């Protein structure tokens, strides 16, 4: 006597002594493993849909319907309800992508196909992103215009420009690079924003399933120092004038006295002034003392130092000579003046004599 495949032979005797022979179906099982498509590592956390026998079961790794306690390994008891079943992946492990298209596997369980093993089913790693910000070290404001070198696994290297090549974030000073392979990355600033000093700081980041969207701390830049200049000249000739003194007022209470060729004046030429390493802000220049023999210029002059105006120039400040008399009239001198004064004196004397003669005549 032969026994049907996939069944257990059982016999019994009925009431009149005739044996009834029947067979019980054996239980069917389905197995598979979820792995990393790159290195074959078993992956936890996937969820599957198993449809058959009029039902759709949600199979969760190490959870509902999964009889295999190992990470990434599945064993589902189909039982004795043989027939056609369909299996597809519903949720990929964290950090991994569902296949596209997502295949539906069709399986038939019968007496000759009781234990089916689908083997390893790999998932592709989801691409990562790396983000950081460029900010002003003084104000914390984001800065546009920086360029970077990004290096990563397997010889990866790229030049990334804020709001340009490689940057997927449209905001100024916010840089984001996508579609990155998992691994270690370094970020180096290649060129700083206009008006700022470059940093030699090297940033590092790691992209993987647990850190797909890696974010670095803000990278700050110090403001480039500014400079101020001006000159003191004679109004009439434009010649440089030595010896002036000035009051220079700036941001955050900054106030200094500047004397030509003394102290913080970095310009050695007479009448030329240069102040180095000044902070950003608005500066006001007022002449405090004019060169000897010249009238002080009382006009305040202002310039602004910022990222695009690092060299502030107050220009040429003119002085006129000091008059010897109030009102600015110089003494009347020379031969012409002498002749004029003599003439006036003679006329005055003649007028006096004439007046005396008239008085005597009138008295007589």
Task: Name, of 256-265, 331-340, 341-350, the range with top average pLDDT.
Answer: 256-265
Which pLDDT value is given to residue 353?
Answer: 41
- For residue 358, the surrounding DSSP H or E stretch is helix 335-363
Asked whether the beta carbons of 130 and 150 are under 8 A apart, the reply is yes
pLDDT in tens, 224-272: 999 999 999 999 999 999 999 999 999 999 999 999 999 999 999 999 9
**On the CB side of 23, how many CA atoms lie within 13 Å of its CA?**
14
pLDDT at 354: 46
Query: C-alpha 229: how far from its chain's center?
Result: 32
Lowest mean pLDDT among 20-29, 133-142, 255-264: 20-29
Give residue 87's pLDDT band: very low, low, confident or very high (50, 70, 90): very high
Predicted confidence at residue 333, as pLDDT, reads: 43
CA–CA separation, 69 and 310 (whole Å) = 68
The DSSP secondary structure of 312-357, one letter per residue, reads: EEEEEEEEPBPPSSGGGPPP--SHHHHHHHHHHHHHHHHHHHHHHH
CA dist 136 to 57, 260, 272, 284, Å? 56, 35, 33, 25
* Among the listed residues 78, 74, 73, 66, the one whose alpha carbon sits nearest the alpha carbon of residue 114: 78
Query: Which of residues 356 and 321 earns the better pLDDT score?
Result: 321
For residue 25, the model assigns a pLDDT of: 82
Average pLDDT over residues 12-39: 80
Q: Which whole number is the average pLDDT over 292-296?
A: 97
Q: Which residues pair with 281 in a beta bridge?
A: 305
Q: Which residue has the higher pLDDT, 3 or 295?
A: 295
Q: How many Cβ atoms from other residues are within 10 Å of residue 264's Cβ?
A: 15
Output the pLDDT for position 348.
52
Does the structure show a pLDDT above 50 at 1? Answer: no
In the block, which residue shows the tokens 């691994």?
Answer: 183
Strand order across the 147-151 sheet? 157-161, 147-151, 183-191, 202-207
Distance CA 359, CA 364 (A): 9
* Residues 180-228: tens digit of each pLDDT: 999 999 999 999 999 999 999 999 999 999 999 999 999 999 999 999 9
CA-based R_g, the chain, Å = 49
- Predicted model pTM: 0.75
Confidence of residue 323 (pLDDT cuts 50, 70, 90): confident
- Does 360 have pLDDT greater than 60? no
| pLDDT of res. 339 | 41
Lowest mean pLDDT among 35-44, 101-110, 227-236, 332-341: 332-341
Mention every residue, 6+ apart, whose C-beta is less than 8 A from residue 132: 175, 187, 203, 215, 216, 217, 218, 219
Pairing of strands 272-278, 55-60: unpaired
Left if phi > 0, otherwise alpha if psi is -120 to 50, otherwise beta: which for 345? alpha
């Amino acid at each position: 006597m032969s026994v049907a495949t996939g069944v257990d032979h059982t016999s019994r005797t009925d009431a009149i002594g005739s044996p009834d022979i029947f067979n019980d179906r054996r239980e069917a099982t389905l197995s598979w493993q979820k792995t990393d498509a790159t290195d074959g590592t078993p992956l936890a956390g996937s969820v599957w849909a198993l449809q058959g026998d009029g039902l759709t079961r949600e199979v969760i790794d190490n959870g509902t319907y999964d009889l295999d306690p190992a990470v990434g390994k599945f064993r589902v008891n189909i039982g004795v309800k043989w027939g056609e079943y369909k299996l597809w992946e519903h949720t990929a492990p964290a950090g991994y992508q569902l296949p596209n298209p997502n295949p539906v596997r069709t399986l038939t369980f019968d007496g000759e196909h009781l234990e089916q093993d689908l083997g390893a089913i790999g998932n592709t790693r989801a691409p990562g992103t790396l983000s950081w910000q460029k900010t002003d070290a003084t104000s914390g404001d984001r800065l546009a215009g920086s360029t970077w070198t990004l290096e990563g696994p397997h010889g990866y290297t790229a030049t990334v420009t804020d709001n340009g090549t490689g940057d997927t974030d449209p905001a100024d000073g916010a840089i984001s690079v996508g579609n990155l392979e998992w691994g270690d990355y370094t970020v180096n600033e290649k060129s700083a924003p206009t008006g700022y000093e470059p940093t030699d700081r090297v940033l590092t980041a790691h992209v993987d399933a647990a850190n797909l969207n890696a974010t670095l701390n803000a990278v700050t830049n110090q403001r480039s120092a500014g400079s101020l200049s001006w000159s003191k000249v004679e109004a009439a000739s434009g010649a440089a004038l030595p010896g002036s003194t000035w009051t220079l007022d700036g941001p955050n209470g900054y106030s200094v006295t500047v004397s030509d060729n003394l102290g913080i004046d970095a310009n050695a030429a007479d009448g030329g002034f240069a102040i180095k390493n000044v902070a950003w802000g608005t500066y006001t220049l007022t002449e405090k003392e004019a060169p000897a023999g010249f009238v002080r210029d009382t006009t305040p002059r202002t310039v602004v130092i910022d990222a695009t105006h690092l060299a502030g120039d107050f220009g040429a400040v003119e002085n006129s000579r000091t008059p010897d008399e109030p009102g600015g009239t110089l003494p009347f001198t020379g031969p012409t003046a002498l002749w004029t004064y003599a003439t006036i004196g003679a006329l005055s004397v003649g007028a006096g004599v004439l007046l005396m003669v008239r008085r005597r005549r009138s008295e007589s």
